[in-house]
Amino acid sequence: MYITVVILPLIGSLISGFGGRLLGYYGASIFATSCVGLSFFLSLLIFYEVGFCNSVCYISLSSWISTGTLTVNWGFLFDAVTSVMLIVVTSISTLVHMYSISYMENDPHCPRFMSYLEIFTFFMLVLVTADNTLQMFLGWEGVGLASYLLINFWFTRLAANQSAIKALVVNRIGDFGLSIGIFALFYIFNSVDYLTIFSLTPFFQNYCLSFLGIDINTLTFIGVLLFIGAVGKSAQLGLHTWLPDAMEGPTPVSALIHAATMVTAGVFLIIRFSPLVEYSSTILGILIIFGSLTTFFAAMTGTFQNDLKRVIAYSTCSQLGYMVFACGLSCYNVSMFHLTNHAFFKALLFLSAGSIIHALSDEQDMRRMGSLSQFLPVTYSLMLIGSLALTGFPFLAGFYSKDFILELSQIGTNSNLNNSIAALSCWLGTLSVLFTSFYSFRLIYLAFLNNSNSSKKVLTSVHESNLLMLIPLLILAVGSIFIGYLTKDFFIGFGTNFWNSSIFILPYNANFIESEFLEVQIKWLPFLLSTFGIILATIINLSRFYILINWNFHNFFAFLINKKWFWDFIYSRFFIYPILTFGYNITLKNLDRGFIELAGPYGVMNFIPTWANLIKKLQTGQITHYIFFMILGLCSFFILFYLIENLQFSMFLYFVLMFFI
Amino acid sequence: MYEQINYLNTSTALFLISIIGIFLNQKNILIMLMSLEMMFLSISFNLIFSSILIDDIVGQIFSLLILTVAAAESSIGLAILVIYYRIRSVITVELMTLMSG
C-alpha cells in the first residue's frame, strides 16, 4: 500500500502518455484520474494508520548508490508530515485531474496533459516520501521538470515558452543552493539519511565550518543553503519572479503547481528539516525576515494586478510567506496546518478562476469582466467562499491557521522573549491581512459585482461550467469551509501527539501556550483588519472614488505596484542582460570564437602555411646559397658535437650565441 | 714537428681556399670545377702526408683512387658544362636559378 501510492501516478503517467493515442481522449483522462484517485484513497488509509494510529512506516527498498562511505537507499519514510503532504498532494491532484477532463476537452493534446499532471504528482510524492536528501532531490528536480512541461503545455505560445524557461532557470538557482546544502550535509554527517542527520544534529550545535577563511556555524551554513532551495521553490522574495509568470500555463496547472504541490515543497523542506533548523537561531531569523517580507510584498503587489490569475498567484506567494515565517517562529505544525488549508482554498480559487476564464472564452483581464454573478452564480458563490477562507473569515479554513500564525507572531513582540525579529513578522503579517482581503474583494467586485465591461459577443456565450468541472469545485469548497475546523485539534491542538517526532521544536522556542494569554483586542485585530479591507474594497468599487484617479501619488503608487515594484525590470537590467551580454560578447565572441580559436585550430591552420612559405623561399635556386647551407650545416654539426663533449664550455658558448642573437 | 704542423696547415688552407672558391664564385662555373679539383688535391695531399707520418701505405693507395675519381668526375663535369653551354650559351652561376623553390 505504501509503495503503491507512489507508483500509481507513475503508471498512470506512462500509460496515458505513451498509450494516449490508443486509449483515446476519455480513456487517457479517466485512466489517469482513476490512478491518482486510487492513490488518494490509499493515502487516506496511510493518514489513518500513520497519523491517528501513530505507526510510522519506514520502507527501504534497495540500494541505489553505494560507494565508499556514501550509501543511498531507495527508502520511503511515512511519518505524520509525509502523510499530511500525501493527503494534500493526492487530493488536490485528483480534483485537478477531474476538473481537467472537462477543462481540456477541446485540446488535441489532452493525454499528454494528463500524463504531465500525473508525472508531476509522482515526483511530488517521491519528494515527500523520501527518507534521504538525495531521493528528495530527485523529486525536487522532477517537480521542476514537470512544472516546465506543464507551464509550457501550449508550446506554440511565446509567452508560455518564456515563462516555462524562467520558471525552470529561477528554480535552478534555488536548486543550486539546495544541492550545495546536500553536499554540506554529507560532508558534515557522512550520510544523507534524514534519520542519521537529525539524530546527529545536536552534536554539531557549536561546530564551525571554515568557509572562505571565515568560521561559520555549520548548522547555520546548511540551513541557509537549504533555505535558498526553499526560496526558489516556494517563491520567496528574491526568487519569486517566476511564480506570477507561471500563470501562462493552463489554469488547472496553476491550481496544482501554485496552490497545492510545487510551491509547498519549499515549506515542506523547512518543516522536514525542523530538527536541524531549530538549532540555529540565525536561520530562524532569516526565515522570519524573508517570510514576512514576502508576505507583505506579495500582498501589496496583488492589490493592483489586473490579471485574474496573477492576483491569485501573488496571494499564493503571500500565503507562502506566512508559512515560512511561521517556520521561523518555530511553529512548524502551524505552518503545516496553514499549508493544508491553503492548498484547499487556493485550489478552489484557481479552479474557480479557471471556470470564469472558461466561461468568458479565455478572457483573463479583470477589467473586461463584471456582473458575472448573474451569469455564473455557482462559480460566484464558490469564489466567495474561497476568498473568505483566504482572508481568514471566522470559522473558515484560513481563520484557524492564519489567525493562529498571527497570534504567535504577536507573542514575538513580547520583549521577554528576546526575539526582536519576530516583531517584524508581526507587523508585516498583520498589515498583509488588510491587503489580502482588499485584493480578494477587489477581484470579487471586478469580476462579479461591478458593471460588465465585456463585449456583447462574449456575454451572449457566457455559460456556467458543466458538472464535471463544478463537482471538484464543490468538494474543494466543502474542504475550504470545514478542513480547518476538523483538523485543528490534531494538527495544532495543545498536547496533540499527532506529529510524534516528525516535527521537532526546541522547548525553548515553543510558545503555543502564550497565545492563549494575549489580549482580546489583539486577537480581534486580524479580523478587524480583514473586515476593513473588505469595506475598503467595497467603498472604492461601489462609490467610484474619482478623487483617486486624479491623485498623482495614487497613480504613481498604482503604477509601481502594478509593475511588481520593478523586480523583473531590475533583474533583467542588472542581472540577466549583463550576463547575456557577457556570454555573447566575452565568452562567445572573445574567448570561444576569439582567443581559443586563434590559438587552436585557426592559429595552426595559419601558422603552418606561413612558415612553409618562408622555408620554401630558402630554396632560391642559387647554387651558392645551397653551398652556404651545406657548409653552415657542417659547421653547426661540428659545433654541436663540440658542445656535447665539453658541456661546461658549451654553456658559455650558448650565452655568447644568445648575446649575439 | 715543424713539418707536421706545416703540412696540416697547408692542406687545410688549400681546402678552405677551394671552399671559398666555390662559395664566393658567382660568375663562372668553370672556376667552380677548378675549385673542386683543388679540394680533391688538398685531400689527397693530406692523405699522402699522413700516410708518411703514421707510416701506413693505405693513405697513398687512397689518394691514387681519389685521383682516379677526380679525373672521372671532372670529365663528367666538363661534359655537363659543355652541354649546358650549348643550350644556354652562358656559364654564369648567378643565372642558374630556374629551379627555385
d(CA A243, CA A174): 13
Interface of B with A (CB under 8 A): 19, 22-26, 32, 93-94, 96-101
Q: Which of B24, B26, B98 lies closest to A621 in CB terms?
A: B98
Residues of chain A above pLDDT 90, percent = 37
Beta bridge partners, A66, equal A71
Residue A619 with chain B: CB contacts under 8 Å = 99-101
d(CA A164, CA A159): 8
The pLDDT assigned to B3 comes to: 63
A613 touches chain B (CB under 8 A): no
Q: Which of B23, B93, B100 lies closest to A628 in CB terms?
A: B23
Mean pLDDT over each residue of chain A, to the nearest integer:
87
The pLDDT assigned to A590 comes to: 86
Give the pTM.
Answer: 0.82
A626 touches chain B (CB under 8 A): no
The pLDDT assigned to A539 comes to: 84
Under an 8 A CB cutoff, do A631 and B23 touch?
Answer: yes
The pLDDT assigned to A546 comes to: 63
Beta bridge partners, A67, equal A70
Residue B26 with chain A: CB contacts under 8 Å = 624
Q: Which of B19, B93, B101 lies closest to A623 in CB terms?
A: B93
The pLDDT assigned to A25 comes to: 85
Under an 8 A CB cutoff, do B97 and A622 touch?
Answer: yes
pLDDT of A652 over the 70 cut: no
The alpha carbon dihedral of A46, A47, A48, A52 has a sign of positive
Q: Would you state the torsion angle of the CA atoms of residues A99, A103, A107, A112, taken in this order, to the nearest 10 degrees? A: -20
The pLDDT assigned to A171 comes to: 92
Q: pLDDT tens digit string along A243-301? A: 888 888 899 998 888 877 888 899 999 999 999 998 888 899 999 999 999 999 999 88
Q: pLDDT tens digit string along A556-604? A: 777 777 777 788 888 888 888 999 999 998 888 888 888 888 888 888 8
DSSP A136-187: HHHHHHHHHHHHHHHHTSSTT-HHHHHHHHHHHHHHHHHHHHHHHHHHHHHH
Q: What residue spans define the domains of chain A?
A: 1-198+207-549, 565-617, 620-660
Under an 8 A CB cutoff, do B96 and A620 touch?
Answer: no
d(CA A408, CA A373): 37
CATH 1.10.287.3510 fits B1-88, yes or no: yes
pLDDT of A394 over the 70 cut: yes
Q: pLDDT tens digit string along A307-360? A: 889 999 999 999 999 999 999 988 898 999 999 999 999 999 999 999 998 888
Q: Would you state the torsion angle of the CA atoms of residues A417, A423, A429, A432, taken in this order, to the nearest 10 degrees? A: 160
pLDDT of A386 over the 90 cut: yes
The pLDDT assigned to B90 comes to: 87
The three cell numbers locating residue A84:
499530511
Residue A628 with chain B: CB contacts under 8 Å = 23
A456 touches chain B (CB under 8 A): no
Residue B23 with chain A: CB contacts under 8 Å = 624, 627-628, 631
A438: closest CA among A300, A243, A258, A240? A300
Whether the Cβ atoms of residue A292 and residue A425 lie closer than 8 Å to each other: yes
A648 touches chain B (CB under 8 A): no
Residue A622 with chain B: CB contacts under 8 Å = 93-94, 96-97
A337: closest CA among A284, A407, A280? A407
d(CA A245, CA A167): 8
The pLDDT assigned to A648 comes to: 64
* Helix/strand/coil (H/E/C) assignment for every residue in A309-374: HHHHHHHHHHHHHHHHHHHHCCCHHHHHHHHHHHHHHHHHHHHHHHHHHHHCCCCCEHHHCCCHHH
Under an 8 A CB cutoff, do A624 and B98 touch?
Answer: no
Q: Pairing mode, if any, of strands A208-211 and A214-217? A: antiparallel
End-to-end CA distance of chain B: 50
Under an 8 A CB cutoff, do B101 and A621 touch?
Answer: yes
Whether the Cβ atoms of residue B34 and residue B21 lie closer than 8 Å to each other: yes
Q: Return all residues near A207 (Cβ < 8 A) that are at least 6 apart.
A: A188, A217, A218, A219
- Closest approach of A616 to chain B, Cα-based (Å): 6
Closest CA in chain B for residue A623 = B93
Q: What angle do CA A385, A390, A396 make, to 5 degrees?
A: 60
pLDDT of A661 over the 70 cut: no
A624 touches chain B (CB under 8 A): yes
Whether the Cβ atoms of residue A298 and residue A321 lie closer than 8 Å to each other: yes
State ipTM: 0.87
Q: How many CB pairs under 8 A join A and B?
A: 32
Q: Mean pLDDT lowest for which of A223-227, A245-249, A387-391, B68-72?
A: A245-249
The pLDDT assigned to A595 comes to: 85
Q: Mean pLDDT lowest for which of A77-86, A204-213, A261-270, A295-304?
A: A204-213
Residue B24 with chain A: CB contacts under 8 Å = 624
Q: Which of A184-198, A555-569, A598-612 has the highest mean pLDDT?
A: A184-198
C-alpha distances out from residue A428 to A141, A371, A421, B23, Å: 32, 34, 11, 99
d(CA A315, CA A470): 23
H or E element in which residue A200 lies: helix A194-200
Number of neighbours of residue A384 by Cβ within 10 angstroms = 18
> A573-585: b or e for each residue (b if 16 or more CB lie within 10 Å)?
eeeeeeeeeeeee
Under an 8 A CB cutoff, do A622 and B94 touch?
Answer: yes
Closest CA in chain B for residue A624 = B23
> Which candidate in A624, A627, A630, A638 is best for mutational testing of the B interface (most B CBs within 10 A)?
A624
Q: pLDDT tens digit string along A30-44? A: 999 999 999 999 999
Per-residue pLDDT band at A550 (split at 50, 70, 90): low
Under an 8 A CB cutoff, do A627 and B22 touch?
Answer: yes
Q: pLDDT tens digit string along B7-20? A: 788 888 899 899 88
The pLDDT assigned to A298 comes to: 92
Under an 8 A CB cutoff, do A620 and B19 touch?
Answer: no
Residue B93 with chain A: CB contacts under 8 Å = 622-624
Query: What value does the mean pLDDT take over residues A50-59?
Result: 88
- Closest approach of A623 to chain B, Cα-based (Å): 7
- Closest approach of A626 to chain B, Cα-based (Å): 9
Residue written as grid cell 487556493: A346
d(CA A334, CA A283): 18
Per-residue pLDDT band at A657 (split at 50, 70, 90): low
> B62-93: b or e for each residue (b if 16 or more CB lie within 10 Å)?
ebeebeeebeeebeebeeebeeeeeeeeebeb
d(CA A60, CA A81): 18
Residues of chain A above pLDDT 70, percent = 96
Per-residue pLDDT band at A625 (split at 50, 70, 90): confident
Query: What value does the mean pLDDT take over residues A225-234?
Result: 92
Q: Which of B19, B96, B101 lies closest to A623 in CB terms?
A: B96
pLDDT of A653 over the 70 cut: no
pLDDT of A549 over the 70 cut: no
DSSP B31-97: HHHHHHHHHHHHHHHHHHHHHHHTT-THHHHHHHHHHHHHHHHHHHHHHHHHHHHHHHS---STT--
pLDDT of B65 over the 90 cut: yes
pLDDT of B1 over the 60 cut: no
Residue of A507 and A347 predicted with greater confidence:
A347
Q: Is A455 left (phi over 0), alpha (psi -120 to 50) or beta?
A: beta
